Structure 1
Amino acid sequence: MDEENREPADAQRSQWQETYRSHPGMYGQAPSAPAVHAARVFRSAGAGSVLELGAGHGRDTLYFAREGFTVRALDFSAVGLGQLRDAARAQGVEDRVATMMHDVRGPLPLPDGIVDAVFTHMLLCMALSTEEIHALVDEVRRVLRPAGAFVYTVRHTGDAHYGVGTGHGDDVWEHGGFAVHFFSRALVDSLAEGWVLNEVFAFEEGELPRRLWRITQTRPR
């Protein structure tokens, strides 16, 4: 990542630590709509294990665990992961949840082909450079078994916050203290090279509302 983008990316760890500390369980207990979709996709593909990137305080992690999947939950916020572990114990699913603190700008700390499915909700559109996003998707492919499914969501360039606030280059815009890499369709298509692109689904979430794509793609056999 160039120096222009590294500063907001590094600042996001502290931003999220403080956000989770100030607003524990901030996203509530109900799973996101993309996670519900992903569980159906993963179950249809015969998946038993799920890797979730950017798990936060774990509303989707816990949903996958309640649905019977074993889940590896990665995040760079120790505060968020602590809340996730507490909730997993309270819900009686701690035996199906493992947490790891990790910054996805580095290689994933997992062996090749170890997981059946990968899910991430809005992590790829954090303050990552295009180069780092490509490197992360390459890592997802590496740790995913052949025919495994990858479901991810991103805010895109049709979102109301695109072009608003402080621009950091590379389609990264910071608004309200949070930096977002807004995806073009060309970026989605480039990330699907070497994969089977199953679906690009447009949806809205939250206030404004945020405009997102939910992408489902499969590693070839």
Structure 2
Amino acid sequence: MYGEVPSQPAVAAAERFGTAGASRVLELGAGQGRDALFFARNGFSVTAADFSAIGLDSLAARAAADGLDGRVQTIVHDVRTRLPLSESSVDAVFAHMLLCMAISTEEIQALVNEIERVLVPGGVLVYTVRHTGDAHYGAGIEHGDNIFENGGFAVHFFDRALVDTLADGWALDEVHAFEEGELPRRLWQVTQTRPA
């Protein structure tokens, strides 16, 4: 759907993860794996989680074809439930536009709590979300909780207060604004670190 080239947030995240000395990366919402495969090609061991078994099957086949199957593990998972990983088992977590899916603020907070649980102390979370400065915010069908549906696709738009709330108890390293796609979509790339 998004092509073979890794997303720009994944490229930036890989650099940040490398600087932090990370080796084990969890990608949430990995889809067909353009970013997971990029992380694996750059030396990280990747656990790729997604709701779609079909997408993950495609990712696993591509990883095997590229000789990366030893670096990529896939897990079918609904992020509204507990992550199937042990405490402090990954060094970094990446989620490109996953947290702004049509899930409630309460579910997002629970997911970030789970991410904190599975990250090592000093581990890094990088996520991207569409924000309230986006052209689709306030347009289309309103579902409450800053969720608006346009063209059959519902998005939870983040305001800065939500970003700050999700970083409570973490070190909030950066909130970087960028644009992507044709609209263009307006997003934030958020980097936060679990305290050591």
TM over 0.5: yes
* Structure 1: gaps of 5 or more residues: 1-25
**Aligned amino acid, residue 77 of structure 2:** H
**Aligned amino acid, residue 138 of structure 1:** N
Shift in Å, 1:195: 0.2
**Structure 1 range deviating more: 209-218 or 164-173:** 164-173
1:64 maps to 39
2:120 to 145, 150, 156: 145
% identity of equivalent residues: 68
Q: TM (normalized to structure 2)? A: 0.99
1:217 aligns with 2:177: no
1:121 maps to 96
The count of corresponding residues between Structure 1 and Structure 2 is 196
2:5 to 21, 25, 30: 30
Q: Residues of 2 paired with 1:193 and 1:163: CA distance?
A: 27
Q: TM (normalized to structure 1)? A: 0.88
1:16 maps to none
Q: Residues of 2 paired with 1:56 and 1:71: CA distance?
A: 13
* Structure 2: gaps of 5 or more residues: none
2:77 to 88, 102, 108: 102
Question: Deviation digits for residues 64-117 of structure 1, max 9, x if unmatched?
Answer: 000000000000011111111111112111110000000000010010000000
2:141 maps to 166
Following superposition, which runs of at least 4 residues in structure 1 exceed 4 angstroms of deviation?
none
Q: Residues of 1 paired with 2:149 and 2:58: CA distance?
A: 26
Q: CA RMSD in A?
A: 0.6
Alignment of 1:197-216 (within 5 A): 197-216=172-191
1:74 to 33, 39, 49: 49
**Aligned amino acid, residue 139 of structure 1:** E
**Aligned amino acid, residue 83 of structure 1:** S
| Higher helix fraction (1 or 2) | 1
Shift in Å, 1:174: 1.0
